[in-house]
Chain A
Amino acid sequence: MEPRPRPYTLVAELTYKCPLRCGYCSNPLNLAAHSKELTTDDWLRVFTEAEALGVMGVNLTGGEPLLRRDLETLVARARELGLYTNLITSGVPLARERLVALKAAGLDHVQLSFQDSDPEASDRMAGVSAFDAKLAVAAWVRELALPLTINVVLHADNVDRTPEIIALAERLHADRIELAHTQYLGWALENRDRLLPTATQLEASRSVAKAAQERLRGRVEVSMVLPDYVAGRPRPCMDGWARRFLVISPDGLVLPCHAAHTITGLTFESVRDRPLAAIWVASPAFERFRGEAWMPEPCKSCDRRAVDYGGCRCQAFHLTGDASKTDPACGLAPDHGLVVAALTKAEAGATRPALVLRGPGPRRLQVL
């Protein structure tokens, strides 16, 4: 029996607003439904309650967390509580003075996203001109001696440039390079037929990343998050439902992962209504997929059930309509055919659909 779960990391989604409109965004499609954001005081209380529960680090993310004018205040409180504070940002909009203020407030680490190594392709995916601003931000982060991770989400349109992406991150003196193959949830699922790479593309990027890992060992950490679609095994989503992570949406919903509130039939509670500890321990939605009791076969008797926890509940829901099924990414899942069909389509090399950039309200189409 596992010890009683306690959260280690708080993912604070401060806002869903973002100047960028990346078509692989994992935010929910109905962004507007969550626009009543928590106040500064709400977040300060949440940080205190989270730390008391055992949380040791906070990821300040979004949307674009820089759009919160109280970010410095939030960083200062997080640091006061001894939390490791990680800013996960597109770098837009940021002025050097503000980064100085964030560092002074106690920021521990900056994770800066690029959409591509090619400026035009990067801006095309972002839907705005942001590449040059990101270069400037990366330089300031280094000047201020803040640790820097460069993060790039990989997909069919940029995966062939994995070598150039790694070279860009090296040129920017990143401490860490995170190459994250797209997880097909939220806007990325909408764009799956456009974004899913072929097996050949994937294998090439994997071997480039592996070579870079060897070459840069001890100097730059290179990590690659492989897509679960091709791995044949589900990823251990969030290290298990309601096991180590607490995610809080901009409007205060307490979630086990970024997309849990897109599962219909589960009711998530708000930090506005109930103390965080009560929600963590007793919320029915948290209990629903905690541990192993909920598992169907083949998970229930699988010797990897404590390794991957049955995979991603959101993916199971969005692909099969039932969140309690085995993640279809698993080769043993009864619904694995759904994933195989998507991969087959990507392999067939047929004309890929236009990218849908994220946006509020009715989805806007843009041919790229």
Chain B
Amino acid sequence: MARLRWDKIDGKHVLLSPERGLSLSATATEIVQLCDGTRTASGVVLACIERYGPSSDAAKIEADVLALLDELASRGLVVEHAPE
């Protein structure tokens, strides 16, 4: 239902859906881009941990990513589907 678009005026990505646009931070944009239909929620978490390197706080990343995914899912902007 939702689609990501660059907003050239505000210099941010926006997640567009029928009734609203959700302005995303750079980090949130990266997380949304990882939801490409191939990864599970834990797959997205793992990809983020890899991206931020071994010195990152894995537990904090996991909590933050899952919180964002929950928020997006509750608004219907990210959906889970069965593997094809």
* Those of B31-80 within 8 Å (CB) of chain A: 73-76
Give the interface size class of chain A: 20 to 34
- Determine whether the beta carbon of A84 is less than 8 Å from that of B5: yes
- Determine whether the beta carbon of A56 is less than 8 Å from that of B74: no
- Contact of B21 (CB < 8 Å), options: A57, A111, A175, A221: A57
Answer whether residue A275 sits at the interface, using C-beta atoms and an 8 A cutoff. no
- Determine whether the beta carbon of B76 is less than 8 Å from that of A176: yes
Q: How far is the CB of B17 from chain A (nearest CB, A)?
A: 7
- Determine whether the beta carbon of A57 is less than 8 Å from that of B75: no
- Determine whether the beta carbon of A54 is less than 8 Å from that of B9: yes
- Determine whether the beta carbon of B18 is less than 8 Å from that of A82: no
- Determine whether the beta carbon of B75 is less than 8 Å from that of A56: no
Interface string of A56-68 (1 = CB under 8 A from B): 1100000000000
How distant is the Cα of A6 from the Cα of B23 in the complex, in angstroms?
15
Known: A56-B7, A108-B3. A149 touches B18 (CB 8 A): yes
Count chain B residues whose beta carbon lies closer than 8 angstroms to a beta carbon of A.
Answer: 16
How distant is the Cα of A57 from the Cα of B20 in the complex, in angstroms?
9
Q: Which residues of B contact A108 (CB under 8 A)?
A: 1, 3, 16
Q: How far is the CB of A305 from chain B (nearest CB, A)?
A: 22
- Determine whether the beta carbon of A84 is less than 8 Å from that of B74: no
- Determine whether the beta carbon of B76 is less than 8 Å from that of A221: yes
Q: Which residues of A contact B5 (CB under 8 A)?
A: 56, 82, 84
Q: 9 closest Cβ contacts across the A-B interface? A: A147-B1, A84-B16, A221-B76, A54-B9, A109-B18, A86-B18, A82-B5, A218-B74, A175-B1
Residues of B near any A CB (own CB < 8 A)? 1, 3, 5-7, 9, 14, 16-19, 21, 73-76
18 contacts between A and B (CB under 8 A): A54-B9, A56-B5, A56-B14, A57-B16, A82-B5, A84-B16, A84-B18, A86-B18, A108-B1, A108-B16, A109-B17, A109-B18, A147-B18, A176-B1, A176-B18, A176-B76, A217-B74, A218-B73
